[in-house]
Amino acid sequence: MTTIAAPPGQESAVFSPFGSVVPALLSLTGIFLVNFLTRVILAPFLLYVREDFDLTKAQAGELFFIVSLGYSIALLASGFVSSRVDHRKVIVISAFGVGLGLCLASFHEKASQRPPWRTTF
């Protein structure tokens, strides 16, 4: 570690060499990139999704809205959860929440016949 001399009367600062910080910096950058791409990748492919699933423009827009709404709710909830729970527990809670959501979506009785966001009661 590198110690930087401080003016008289102040403590000296201790910094890690830049090379030891690079893996964590690249990891955080990669996480941000993946997070950002998952939110914006749907918009350019919405035309192809619409054709493949035979959706109207309104239904395709609804899909985009639901994905964005789910992301917004999860982002707000994660702020409250992470301020009260240890970060390791937040990761476990997040993994179980995503797994539970996917399991529930797979049990929908007509999941193969229509998009899962279109439900009738």
Return the percentage of the chain with pLDDT > 90, whole number. Answer: 0
Write out pLDDT tens, residues 9-45: 666 556 667 778 888 889 889 888 887 887 778 778 8
Query: pLDDT: is 99 or 118 the higher one?
Result: 99
| Confidence (pTM) | 0.52
Q: Report the alpha-carbon distance of residue 39 to residue 54 in Å, rounded.
A: 22
pLDDT-derived band at 95 (thresholds 50, 70, 90) equals confident
Question: Residue 27: what residue type?
Answer: S
98 is a domain residue: yes
Q: Distances from the Cα of 51 to the Cαs of 55, 76, 119, in angstroms?
A: 7, 33, 20
70 is a domain residue: yes
8 is a domain residue: no
42 is a domain residue: yes
Per DSSP, the three-state class of 57 is: helix
75 is a domain residue: yes
pLDDT of residue 121: 41
What phi and psi, each to the nearest 5 degrees, are found at residue 66?
-65, -40
pLDDT-derived band at 109 (thresholds 50, 70, 90) equals low
Write out pLDDT tens, residues 75-87: 888 888 888 988 8
pLDDT of residue 67: 79
What phi and psi, each to the nearest 5 degrees, are found at residue 7?
-60, 155
Number of structural domains (the chain) is 1
- Domain range for residue 74? 13-106
The length of the chain in residues reads 121
pLDDT of residue 91: 83
pLDDT of residue 58: 87
Residue 13 · residue 3 · CB < 8 Å: yes
Residue 42 · residue 67 · CB < 8 Å: yes
Q: Distances from the Cα of 57 to the Cαs of 75, 80, 112, 119, in angstroms?
A: 27, 35, 20, 18
